[in-house]
Amino acid sequence: MALPFNIFSIGKEPKSYLGVDIGTLSIKIVELSSENGRPKLQNYAILSNYNLIENKTPKVFGGEASMMLRRMLKESGIVAKEINMSAPIFSSFLTIMELPPMSESEVASAIQFEAKKYIPVPLDSVLIDWSLIGTSAEGPSTTFGAGLPAGQAGKILILLIAIPKDLVNEYQFIARESDLKLNNLELETTSATRALIGNDPVPAVLMDMGSRDTTISVVDGGYLRISHSIEASGEDLTRALANSLNISWRRAEELKKEQGLKVMDNNNQINDVLAPLLDTIVNAAKNIIDLYFSKTNKKVEKLIIYGGAAKMPGFSQYLGKGLGIDALIGNPFSKIIYDEKLNPIMEEIGHEFTIATGLALKAIQ
């Protein structure tokens, strides 16, 4: 069974495909079509919520999200009606399940029985999906251990995901109130993996610093292996700047985007406030990288940053230096056809559409 959740019926395929990423403070939409077997950008839209109140995070969900989504679709001229959406990792459950060698039909039955050992909530409160990602004795495959010498077949590795039914209902409500049909729902990190990694076999870390938290994931062979969220966030950096410089939350947000970590260069007070937050992120990434190495003996070779904070000046350099690996800013449009006139825009904000692009690509691939 392939990720993501195919829990909604799919009708006739549309000519264009929508990915909708609803974040805490913004909504992003990407519309793709297929041209000679390659994805082509048809349209995109972004709406950021600037009605920010210090120490308060607006809830961009429910009726408010539907209203804003309808407005975006109308003003951008997007006519497609079928969409894919994503759920944040902090609201879901993800783990790697190990099973002894068995047939594919047996795996499906075993997962239903074993899932309760891995998911810390009642199974009737979540929707479960799974994907075979390989065996402990070899890389990603679909052989269920077949082909290995007798007695040497490794355990089957299953990526197990559970999303609360209440959250699924929330997304269904948003789509329904926006006059859209929700085809698929998947984890944000799965979407980002599709957009930035594809089938690249090199182990990599994906990092998304959002307004609420920072998600750090290991992807290997195109498969999500570990994903973990920590509370350090872009909003924490903004608040720390506002308090240190005695400026408004909004001005601090602007300063963060314009100067980034440069504000630390000659200001010990700011350095003392921001460095511990940044080092929390670096240390969390180190721990995840070390954990993956201890389990697989595979070395992570690169870090790809995406999302709103990815282009904060000095951020990628700080992370790369702290982790001792190459830190790159993800480009979800690297394999997508689009008008070259959009190059300046893509250079500036393209990374913010990573999740929405991955969702739209799901409909094409």
Task: Flag whether pLDDT at 189 surpasses 70.
Answer: yes
Task: Flag whether pLDDT at 1 surpasses 50.
Answer: no
Looking at residue 140, what is its pLDDT?
41
How does pLDDT run across 155-169, given as a tens digit for each residue? Answer: 888 889 999 999 999
Looking at residue 62, what is its pLDDT?
52
How much of the chain, in percent, has pLDDT values that exceed 90?
42
Distance CA 335, CA 341 (A): 16
Cβ-Cβ contacts under 8 Å for 128 (sequence gap 6 or more): 111, 115, 119, 160, 161, 162
Mean pLDDT of the 10-30 span: 79
Residue ranges and CATH numbers for the domains of the chain are 17-236+274-364 (3.30.420.40)
Please say whether the dihedral angle defined by the alpha carbons of residues 342, 353, 327 and 300, taken in this order, is positive or negative.
negative
Task: Flag whether pLDDT at 305 surpasses 90.
Answer: yes
Q: Reduced to 3 states, what is the DSSP secondary structure of residue 334?
A: coil
pLDDT confidence band for 11 (50 / 70 / 90):
very low
Task: Flag whether pLDDT at 56 surpasses 50.
Answer: no
Mean pLDDT of the 100-121 span: 86
Task: Flag whether pLDDT at 61 surpasses 80.
Answer: no
> Cα(first)–Cα(last) distance of the chain, in Å?
15
Looking at residue 154, what is its pLDDT?
75
Looking at residue 21, what is its pLDDT?
94
Helix (H) or strand (E) holding 51: none
Backbone angles phi, psi at 238, to 5 degrees: -60, -45
- Mean pLDDT is highest, among 181-185, 231-235, 305-309, for 181-185
pTM of the predicted model as reported, rounded to 2 decimal places: 0.85
pLDDT confidence band for 223 (50 / 70 / 90):
confident
Backbone angles phi, psi at 217, to 5 degrees: -135, 150
